[in-house]
Structure 1
């Protein structure tokens, strides 16, 4: 069992002060002390020290990118994406061969967990893996000129697929020039393929009946996925105001509202000067960490980013506490606390100096009536020394 002891008022860790100045006088004339070193202990809110609970190995394998909530968990084990039952801890391989790249996760309002590792992106429905969006028809049906009763002009044809996850993005439009009395023959249709066509010299794609396009009949619904593509894979992922946001390189892509797997690459992206490492949404805006930390209030596609910190964040280090409405990530100044309204603080900076690190992990832990932020850093300099 954890053992709690009191050594007087303990303020926490401090590696900025010399050993002779670790004790300080408080305003109430009592004395408190900083710790130079602390191993396997927790500091309680009233200044007590509690021995940290022990842990036992559950999986004898190479694991990384562990994520979970009250419903379930996921991790990468020996290169495979694995589902973890929250109660029994039973592990089920969901997707084999995802590799060793770090995976980021986000649970969205549709109940599924979205994931990406920079090379792949998809959705997780329990122990089942699903694509990020319905794939476009493959192979693409072929349109060619034939006889018919269409007026002369330039016609455009494109295709989508309809599946359990909705309608796919479109194929590239095929343009066909017809003389008077021409038509369009279409080969390669499947039962789940939708066909869209323009009128003569038109630009609006409307659904037509499956089969050859021989007479004007483009009176169906306008194509709703024109210019859309499947959301690209990235290194950061989050949900904000009905859209999926993915950071890939220097860009943040924003999905169509409530169509999380599709993005309009003609307009729905935000460029930054450096690679995006963290996307942290709040109720009234979103933080983007790249070369610096930016705050975007309201609609991210219609608001200008504002710099709130002159540095970015370590990849993989984001955590969120719904009780406090706060996001936490790690930076060159230690843990950053970010709240709605673009308010950010670096509470460790006054007491701690940190070595260089290229990635991190952060956990909000509620245990024994206390809430702690557990932060781990991958220290490049120490690794080279070892």
Structure 2
């Protein structure tokens, strides 16, 4: 397709096939010939958006009639997992056998067995009340005490919450510490409470006891202490309109802020340190091998590096990005020398871009295709009958129906050659 040149200049030459001014419901082969596109069948009807599917899972996810649902072709209609906001677009990220999801309001995890549970654990809002009692066995000094909540789900290693600043108490020789009003989690998947204490006059806290949820009081005496507390002053990862994993951390974009988790602790972050602020709402967040593409409504950036504490930020496109229009592919799909993961997205100038390693971008459609500024979009890579296609469905602001498409654009690659 070519809608930028004069119609009289679209004829074939010795080096290029003829261009089309428009193409509807057809595929184009490597010789420029068109073939009617295969049709489609109705799986189920209703209000649906935010589709997600991957080869690693035997089912897909979708927001359908106000519920997050799973579905496959053998099980229509979709099976509800959880009621969600029917208008909030969902973002997904597969890590291992789990899909992390969020719509900017709530967040959660769907496992390969279709069980669903919250993403992260809320931090206990307070510490227990501390008093001393006689007849104990503790050495005199000032003690610090902290509690956390734990989730132990079907044998998973216990996921632990963050912890607020410790409560302190002065203890005389031969006394003990009585904990009362131990805070209780509202999350039913949290089944344990862990109690930490410091040595007398110490600054580091160690595990002293683990008790079941429902325990509201507990007595501490001199005992052998266990593992060190390493979630102090950490908090639960916030929800995001985009969630992505990169180099062992989860990233969550909400408004103009991107928050990242602690390493390999996808549910925990530091609200005071682990974030980046951008000059506008973040609409694109796509990692590649050595960094992350970040797009706002006005500009697109590349964060390069392995560790967010040493990221280097640089602008790579003076145009904003269209929300939801990105997808991931492989450089091999586009006959690049680099064969690894790349990012594709539409910008506000009507162009489809490919982002490779080191912030290198390629404009895939700028020479021959210009689209209006759409409000939102969705993209995917598909392969059928030997053709790899990047398919984008774009929504114009004047379309009232959620997910309605004004235009579908297909980039066809055959044997590593981009077909105009």
The TM-score, its normalising length taken from structure 2, stands at: 0.79
Taking the TM superposition and a 5 Å limit, the aligned residue runs for 1:288-303 are 288-290=294-296, 291-301=298-308, 302-303=310-311
In the other structure, the counterpart of 1:225 is 231
**Alpha carbons of structure 1 residues 248 and 284: separation in structure 2 relative to 1, 3 Å:** same
**Alpha carbons of structure 1 residues 81 and 135: separation in structure 2 relative to 1, 3 Å:** same
What value does the CA root-mean-square deviation take over the aligned residues?
2.7
Q: Give the alignment partner of residue 22 of structure 1, picking from 10, 15, 31.
A: 10
1:197 touches 1:218 (CA, 8 Å); kept in 2?
A: no
Q: Give the distance between the partners of 1:195 and 1:53, measured in 2 at CA.
A: 61
In the other structure, the counterpart of 1:77 is 64
1:107 aligns with 2:114: no
Q: How far 1:365 moved relative to its partner?
A: 1.1
2:251 touches 2:260 (CA, 8 Å); kept in 1?
A: yes
Q: How far 1:24 moved relative to its partner?
A: 5.5
In the other structure, the counterpart of 2:151 is 163
1:356 aligns with 2:373: yes
Q: How far 1:300 moved relative to its partner?
A: 4.1
Point out where structure 2 has 5 or more consecutive residues left out of the alignment: 185-190, 211-217, 334-340, 407-420
2:148 touches 2:193 (CA, 8 Å); kept in 1?
A: yes
Q: Give the alignment partner of residue 180 of structure 2, picking from 178, 187, 199.
A: 187
Q: Give the distance between the partners of 2:384 and 2:70, measured in 1 at CA.
A: 24
2:44 touches 2:76 (CA, 8 Å); kept in 1?
A: no
1:63 touches 1:78 (CA, 8 Å); kept in 2?
A: yes
In the other structure, the counterpart of 1:250 is 256
2:17 touches 2:32 (CA, 8 Å); kept in 1?
A: no
User: What SS class does the counterpart of residue 379 from structure 2 fall into?
Assistant: strand
Q: Give the distance between the partners of 2:94 and 2:53, measured in 1 at CA.
A: 10
1:212 aligns with 2:199: no
In the other structure, the counterpart of 1:46 is 31
User: What SS class does the counterpart of residue 220 from structure 2 fall into?
Assistant: coil
2:164 touches 2:232 (CA, 8 Å); kept in 1?
A: no
Q: How far 1:375 moved relative to its partner?
A: 0.8
1:116 touches 1:235 (CA, 8 Å); kept in 2?
A: yes
Q: Give the distance between the partners of 1:283 and 1:77, measured in 2 at CA.
A: 34
**Alpha carbons of structure 1 residues 18 and 68: separation in structure 2 relative to 1, 3 Å:** same
Q: Give the distance between the partners of 1:131 and 1:124, measured in 2 at CA.
A: 9
Aligned residues: 367
User: What SS class does the counterpart of residue 8 from structure 2 fall into?
Assistant: helix
Q: Give the distance between the partners of 2:268 and 2:54, measured in 1 at CA.
A: 26
Deviates more, 1:99-108 or 1:317-326: 317-326
In the other structure, the counterpart of 1:279 is 285
Deviates more, 1:233-242 or 1:197-206: 197-206
